[in-house]
Structure 1
């Protein structure tokens, strides 16, 4: 069969075999394994990304199918779709007014929302994410309330009974929730049972709940459910949603806001 394929096609097939086996590949690994130039490696990754077979990262790529079977660490996830997530964060910041009491769950997009808020005044940020609390620690105009609990290394989120007992005492105006999956049938989902339980309580304590997510989360369902879509106040993402999801949102009266890249 390979006799009919070009050298480049054979190389890209072999790259995909490595990705499916390991879940990720770096450009340095490609140079060593396939004896190609860096420019060739980057062109191969760009081509495969356009075909929807992988997701590019700063130094390589991860397998598109990997996100549905394993949870990536925060440091790995933050490399993905950075500009799209920054746009979502900037749009989300428009929903936050001085004097608000908001809540940010853990996640790469919510971390970027925190960065957007650093210069704001009079905002209280409740969070169960240690890295978000640290990011806001030098912001004089923001009061940070950290929910206690046991930290999950992949997400830096604090979860468990201690977190839940703290949340029960709090009144939150707006919750901005990072998620792992968003689908018409399964609703909002996450990889961790502890995070799902904590997120459910956050929703109960919040007057409004917004799901914030990039397009790679759409149509996917992680293991643990948080809530059906109709329980949301709104969602903020970077691309138009599929027709069936849009229809469900319209029927439920849940608006979807599309972020666009902004000049910096």
Structure 2
């Protein structure tokens, strides 16, 4: 396991439980006590954690409430996102016309698409376009608008307007936060407005999100849970959030994270 993976596990555990013991972290990370101490000291120096006797607790930093740098977010929960990308292939059929929106999880969906499938894929993700360049059977349509280099995407009011020219049967999108109260939320105001307008135009809405996104709301609302058709997440999800799927009669898949590879 890479250092950033261990540290994200530590942060995730402390964020969710507020307080977490050293013994619990040893079990979660599978690391030695010496390695765990180094990781904890690193996070203490960054101001992400504070110590108590026998463990640590999470410190909410204002800069972490906003959007992470895209390259950094690509590394977070990499194996979970990869597994979700594999699981999402069940919903991509030969002959489909679908929308795949930008994101650090949806890029894994694009990466796993069978190059022999004949599909039409509509996207606003710059890295998704790049990912599909070696899959000539996939017809890629790029939605036009304002380029946001910080998130490798195209956004703005012209994006959903252009989508009106097509008839996709499904949309696959990520999420910044997921709760029963607010539904799907996202970090960027303009990007979220673009996404919320797009999902209104497509009947089947598939949300791909790793377990860390559940139980938190971020900046702007995208859509309520009642509008979600399918959730695809990973096996790190807590049971209480699986209950949300059942409460809202949402179909769901839980991806196994044992087999996917690590960050290349």
Q: Give 1:248 shift.
A: 3.4
Q: Quick check: 1:221 aligned with 2:198?
A: no
Secondary structure of the 1:112 match is helix
Secondary structure of the 1:111 match is helix
Q: Give 1:187 shift.
A: 0.7
Q: Which residue of 1 aligns with 2:157?
A: 161
* More moved, 225-234 vs 129-138: 129-138
Q: Give 1:256 shift.
A: 2.2
Q: Quick check: 1:121 aligned with 2:117?
A: yes
Q: Give 1:201 shift.
A: 2.1
Q: Which residue of 2 aligns with 1:80?
A: 76
Classify 1:81/1:247 alpha carbon distance in 2 versus 1 (closer, same or farther; 3 Å). closer
* More moved, 63-72 vs 233-242: 63-72
Checking the alignment, whether the CA contact within 8 Å between 1:170 and 1:205 is kept in structure 2 is no
Checking the alignment, whether the CA contact within 8 Å between 2:83 and 2:260 is kept in structure 1 is no
Q: Deviations over 1:61-111 (max 9, x none)?
A: xx8845851201221111111111110000001221111111111111101
Q: Deviations over 1:22-77 (max 9, x none)?
A: xxxxxxxxxxxxxxxxx95665327999xxx67xxxxxxxx884585120122111
Classify 1:98/1:46 alpha carbon distance in 2 versus 1 (closer, same or farther; 3 Å). farther
Checking the alignment, whether the CA contact within 8 Å between 1:238 and 1:258 is kept in structure 2 is yes
Q: Which residue of 1 aligns with 2:100?
A: 104
Checking the alignment, whether the CA contact within 8 Å between 2:171 and 2:202 is kept in structure 1 is yes
Q: Quick check: 1:249 aligned with 2:245?
A: yes
Checking the alignment, whether the CA contact within 8 Å between 1:196 and 1:226 is kept in structure 2 is yes
Unaligned stretches of 5+ residues in structure 2: 1-10, 12-32, 50-57
Q: Which residue of 2 aligns with 1:205?
A: 201
What is the CA–CA distance in structure 1 between the aligned matches of 2:142 and 2:199, rounded to whole Å? 16
Q: Which residue of 2 aligns with 1:180?
A: 176
Residues matched between the structures, number: 216
What is the CA–CA distance in structure 2 between the aligned matches of 1:218 and 1:68, rounded to whole Å? 16
Checking the alignment, whether the CA contact within 8 Å between 1:68 and 1:221 is kept in structure 2 is no
Aligned alpha-carbon RMSD (Å)? 2.6
Q: Which residue of 1 aligns with 2:39?
A: 45
* More moved, 166-175 vs 222-231: 166-175
Q: Give 1:114 shift.
A: 0.6
Checking the alignment, whether the CA contact within 8 Å between 2:83 and 2:255 is kept in structure 1 is yes
Secondary structure of the 1:154 match is coil
Checking the alignment, whether the CA contact within 8 Å between 1:72 and 1:154 is kept in structure 2 is no
What is the CA–CA distance in structure 1 between the aligned matches of 2:155 and 2:220, rounded to whole Å? 14
Which structure has more RCO (C-alpha within 8 Å, separation ≥ 6)?
A: 2
Q: Which residue of 1 aligns with 2:16?
A: none
What is the CA–CA distance in structure 1 between the aligned matches of 2:159 and 2:219, rounded to whole Å? 21
